[in-house]
Structure 1
Amino acid sequence: MAAEEGIALVDKDEQGVDRAFREEVLTGLSYDQKAVPARWLYDDDGSQLFEDITQVEEYYPTRAETEILTERGADFANAIGPGRAVVEFGSGSSVKTPLLLRAIDPAAYVPLDIAGDFLRAAAADLAQQFPGLAVHPVEADFTKEVALPPETADMPKLGFFTGSTIGNMVPRTGVDLLRSMRATLGAKSMLLIGMDLVKDRKVLEAAYDDAKGVTAAFNLNLAHRINRELDGTIPVDALRHEARWHDDYARIEMHLVATRDITFEVAGRKFAMAEGESIHTENSHKFSRRSAFMLLRAGGWTPLQRWLDRQERYSLILCRAAEERIAP
């Protein structure tokens, strides 16, 4: 079955600009520590660059996650069962998503992503690989509750959230996202989520600052996107990519650092950065078993099973939606 054209749920103005993108960029650039939420790294160009990142030698999470999905298919089939609608938060990986779909025999596949063209291309690719599977792409901001296609209304749901993307959020925002996912998927749903593990600092920093500069291009693409979509005048050649390990928060931080004093405009507003000042673009939190389970439980999910790759660098965790408690 071919992928449907998809449902668009992104709020754009008359010029086609995502209103939330403009608002969050302008707000973030006004902070003392300038910051733009990581989700805006993933326009169509950014999504493709991230796919390229997954192929570089230093970036282990994709290989580790793929290893688990390849070797534990029978475990997933037994724990999840057939007939669920797989709702993937983020456009499907050409490698990882088919491994899960083959293992569990789903009734439908619903990829959710804010990058519309990339979403539709990924959905079309999956539809070709699985001609008997109903594919319903939805262009939406999955950080908020999303109305799923009516064709899947009566199907039990399995959320699929790979790449340890949950690590991009600070704990409070991560809890909010997990609760939003639970609301999207509904009662009696399940969630299979990837969560990266704490490990040697040098390994972590290299994974986010590869020798080929692919991650740098991914980070700098945000500035190009701001210039293109928000009438920005950011001098991209005056910014450099930097990855920093922050031990107190158990996270890698990505920054765009000014190499000289600069001034620029975005959507008609003026900004300035002194040499050495940065725009904080992404966090990537790393987890222990305890911190992962605490976050999941706070977000309304009960962990059921946990799988690690052979080198114990990465985890996939299967959860079920916790029952809602009614206050007395």
Structure 2
Amino acid sequence: MNTAQQVEEERQAILEGLLAEQKFINPKYFYNHKGSKLFEQITQLDEYYPTRTERKILLSKADEIANYIKRSALIVEPGAGSCKKIEFLLDALHPEVYVPQDVSKDFLEQSSKRLSNDYPWLEVFPIASDFSQPINLPERYQHYKKYAFYPGSTIGNFEPDEAHIFLKQMRQLVGSEGGMILGVDLHKDNDILHAAYNDNKGVTAQFNLNTLSHINEVLNSDFDVKKFEHHALYNSTQQRIEMYLRSQEDQSYEVQGQKIVFEKGELVHTEHSYKYTLQGIASLAKESGFFLEESWLDNNELFSVNYLSAI
């Protein structure tokens, strides 16, 4: 498929979402260069506990995690972004090859270069692609013991059936002797979750609104970002954060020959973030070809880092 075809298919997919009865934008459009930078800011906010909590677990339990990782290891990290979290484990795990993958090519290349400079003993092989697509490793890497590293509870951004599909892809990638280190946010008090996605500085709002700026670039459209606002809530029944863009007035746009109408108050879905129990993580693993070997939690049981072995 040539680039022109890919661009046209991408545009059509975005339009289908905006013309649906419940309008939606794929959460991958959070992550252009600006979006990646904004997410890095989110991870440093007081309200956003997942990053610092996971960091403490990874640092304090690195040696225990390393017990599950064989020598001559290759670690693949889908959606690696800044490649910073793998640094909490590198000295303990000491893999031979690290394969970060991310949709933002420039950001990935900068991160990979920095990592190569900081860890000259580590071979870094970045792959710039959409992580909804299978990761294909070069033949020269096939003999390594392979492990996937998927921190940040990004697995929660998938619908449950999509999470199964993704983990099955990871199971196929790592093979029968491999495994996966998986960060998963846990079900907890509503107030804590609400604050994490509605920070006082409004960075999460900027991050959410940036999806419109991103699809404007892809579609050559002119959606007015100032006429939308960030809206996030925790659905305790579904155990998920729901994030939307809310139209602040009646408005319409002509895009690629299609008329797109937004009513005042209409919600455009941008993300779900599911929260799991440990039992739910074990079930998800088993249904995807893995076995939950061990879970490491913080003292307040807000977050978990899990090791899944292939079965």
TM score, norm. by length of structure 1: 0.91
Contact 1:161 1:192 in 2 (8 A): yes
Q: How many residues align?
A: 311
2:176 matched residue in structure 1? 187
> Hey, what does 1:267 align to over in structure 2?
256
Q: Following the alignment from structure 1 to structure 2, what is the Cα–Cα distance between the partners of residues 231 and 43?
A: 15
Asked if the contact 1:91/1:118 (under 8 Å) is kept, the reply is no
Cα contact 1:156–1:188 (8 A) shared by 2: yes
Mapping of residues 270-285 of structure 1, within 5 Å: 270-285=259-274
Opposite residue 255 of structure 1, the aligned amino acid is Y
Match of 1:4 in 2: none
SS in 2 for 1:50: helix
Structure 1 equivalent of residue 160 of structure 2: 171
Give TM-score scaled by structure 2 length: 0.95
Instruction: Give the letter for the 2:244 counterpart.
Output: H
Aligned to 1:133: 122
Distance, in Å, in 1 between the alignment partners of 2:179 and 2:221 is 42
How far apart, in 2, do the equivalents of 1:63 and 1:320 lie? 25
Paired AA for residue 96 in structure 2: A
- Counterpart contact for 1:21–1:40, Cα < 8 Å: no
RMSD over aligned CA atoms reads 1.6
Question: CA offsets per residue over residues 57-80 of structure 1, 9 Å max, x none?
Answer: 100000011000110111012122
Distance 1:55 1:80, change over 3 A: same
Q: 1:274 to 1:91 in 2, by over 3 A?
A: same
Gaps of 5+ in 2: none
Choose from 25, 28, 34 the match for 1:45.
34
Check the 8 A contact 1:127/1:133 in 2, yes or no.
yes
Q: Which residue of 2 aligns with 1:204?
A: 193
Matched-pair contact (CA < 8 Å) for 1:92–1:123? no
Q: Report the Cα distance in structure 2 between the residues aligned to 1:300 and 1:84, rounded to whole angstroms.
A: 20
Return 5+ residue gaps in structure 1 as ranges.
1-10, 323-328
Alpha-carbon spacing, 1:293–1:254, altered in 2? closer, same or farther (3 Å): same
Matches within 5 A, 1:17-166: 18=7, 21-166=10-155
Q: Distance in 1 between matches of 2:43 and 2:168?
A: 28
Percent identity among equivalent residues?
38
Deviates more, 1:101-110 or 1:22-31: 22-31
CA distance in 2, matches of 1:88, 1:74: 19
By how many angstroms is 1:102 displaced?
1.4
Decide whether aligned partners of structure 1 residues 56 and 70 sit closer, same or farther in structure 2, where only a CA change above 3 A counts.
same
Alpha-carbon separation, structure 1, partners of 2:257 and 2:214 = 16
